[in-house]
Structure formats: structure tokens, C-alpha cells
Structure 1
Amino acid sequence: MDKLHFTTRIDAPVHTVWTTMLDQSTYREWTRLFHDGSHFVGSWNPGQVIRFLAPGDDGTLRGLVARVVDLRPDELISLEYLGEVSGGINDTTSAHAQRFAGAHEDYSFRESDGVTTLVVEVDTDEEFTAMFAAQWPRALARLTELAEERASTAD
């Protein structure tokens, strides 16, 4: 498994970045750069299961299922992947799903003088490293645009 690291500075208060990242409507907007129709189902509360989904080529929902390990508002989100979702059903036992089990995705937020630094660390199967290395910077650029737009309209 590879670990990818991404850092972005966003000209917006940390709470604005946090809510922009996690609100369902803006989450769909910045994550569509991974896959059109991306969304989450579940709760961001620690210990809860959350599913990250998008329509597959056959129209059924596909994606990953994770457990929220830790969540500290405006500071940290830590996820551990349990497996995948195929045809809308959680799969944590098949050999294919096990490729994702145990992978972590962590987000840390730090604000200084109204600018938020967001650090993303993602474990990924080697098969997807190049794809995510290209997609994450674009998705974070879109998240930055959305959060900065929100911050400018709040002034």
C-alpha cells in the first residue's frame, strides 16, 4: 500500500473549510473530480460507518465503506476503510474488498491569520496511486475555490 500526502492552503477560516468539505452539497461538488456523482451516506461521528459512493457503469452504486476513527471539529478527520461497496452492498470479506481494508485517510486542519492549511494523507492500493496522485490536487483545488467563495460572501 502506498501513502500519498497532499497539502493545500486555503484563504478561508478553518470552520468555513471544514463545513465546505463536509456539507453534502459542496462535498458532491469537490469530489466529482474523482467520479461524477460522488457522495457519502452515513454519519461523520466517531465509530460510525460511512459509505463513499458513485454510480458505476452499470448504474449501481459502487465505492468504499469506512469507519470514522476520530473526528475533532475544525481539526481532524480520521477514517479507516473496511472494504468496498459493489452493487450497493457492503463487501468487507472478498479478496478484492480486502485490498482496501485497513487503509487510512486522514485530514488535518490548521488556521493561522485566517488561512487554513489542510493536510491530506491517504493510503492507496498501488494500482490506484497514479490516478489519485493526479486527481487529489484537482479535487483540493476545487475545494479551495468553494471555501474561498464561501468565505468571501460571508464578509
Structure 2
Amino acid sequence: MEKLEFKITIDASREKVWDVLWGEDTYPVWTAPFSEGSKVETDWQEGSKILFLDASDRGMVSRVKENRPNEYMGIEHLGYYDKGNEVYDTPEVKSWAGSTENYTLLTVDGKTELTVDNDTSPDHKEMFEKIWPKALDIVKELAEN
């Protein structure tokens, strides 16, 4: 696994950016570049299960590893979700299980610096390098307007 890092400065408070990232109405908007019709099922509490789903009810099973509101969200990916079935033991899942995705928000010169780092396999690196900047531009637009 390789760790990728993406950073953007947003002219909004950390609270506003946090609300955009994890808000029920805004989450599907900024994650659309990953999968149109995406949604998430969780309460975002530390230790809670997360289902990251696409429009066909497939996606990932993850958990909130750490949640420090308006500052840091750490997510650990555990398995694959397929229309009600959680899959943890296939060779593909085992190749990325335990990978992380982390969101750090800092105040810099009155603005919010959002850094996202995530573990990825070589197979997904190019995709993430294209999609993350698009997604973060949407977070910026939503938070600044």
C-alpha cells in the first residue's frame, strides 16, 4: 500500500468544512466524483461501522477509527459490501483491508487547510490522483458558498 496525500485551502471555518464533509445532504454531493449516487450509512461516532455505498447498494464496510470534531476523522476500511452481504475474506479484500483514510482540518491564516491522506494499492493510485482533487474542489465550493 502507498499513502497518498491531497491538500486544499478553503476560505471557511473548520466547523463549516466539517459539516460539508459529513453532512447528510452534502456528503453525496462531494463524493459524486467517486461514484454518482454515493451515500453513507453511519452515525460517525468513534468505533461505529460505516457503509460507503454506491447507487447499486455496493461499496465498502469501514469503521470510524477516530473522530475529533472539526479537527480529525480517521477511517479504517475493513471489507466489501454487496447488497446486504459483508465480505471480509476474499483475496482482493485481504489485499486492502486495514487501509486508512484520514481527514485533518487546520486553521491557517483564518482559513481551513484540509488534508486527506489515504492508503491505496498501485491499481487504484491513478484513479485517486484524478478523483480526489475534483472531490476536494467540490468541498471547497460547498463550504465557501
TM range (shorter): over 0.9
Distance 1:38 1:88 in 2: 16
Cα distance per residue 1:95-137 (max 9 Å; x no partner): 2222220100011001134300001000012211100110000
Q: In the TM superposition, what are the counterparts of 1:10-89 in structure 2 within 5 Å?
A: 10-55=10-55, 60-89=56-85
Cα distance per residue 1:39-69 (max 9 Å; x no partner): 10112111111011102xxxx3111111111
Distance 2:59 2:81 in 1: 5
Q: In the TM superposition, what are the counterparts of 1:103-142 in structure 2 within 5 Å?
A: 103-142=99-138
Distance 1:36 1:62 in 2: 12
Runs (5+) with no aligned partner, structure 1: 150-155
TM-score between the two structures when normalised by the length of structure 1: 0.89
Distance 1:123 1:138 in 2: 18
Is the contact between residue 84 and residue 100 of structure 1 (CA under 8 Å) also seen in structure 2? Answer: no
Counterpart residue identity of residue 33, structure 2: L
Aligned residues: percent identity? 37
TM-score between the two structures when normalised by the length of structure 2: 0.95
After superposition, the CA RMSD in angstroms is 1.1
Distance 1:101 1:13 in 2: 33
**Equivalent position SS for 1:16:** helix
Cα distance change of structure 1 residues 136 and 81 upon mapping to structure 2, 3 Å threshold: same
> In the alignment, what sits opposite 1:153?
none
Is the contact between residue 83 and residue 99 of structure 1 (CA under 8 Å) also seen in structure 2? Answer: no
Size of the aligned set, in residue pairs, is: 145
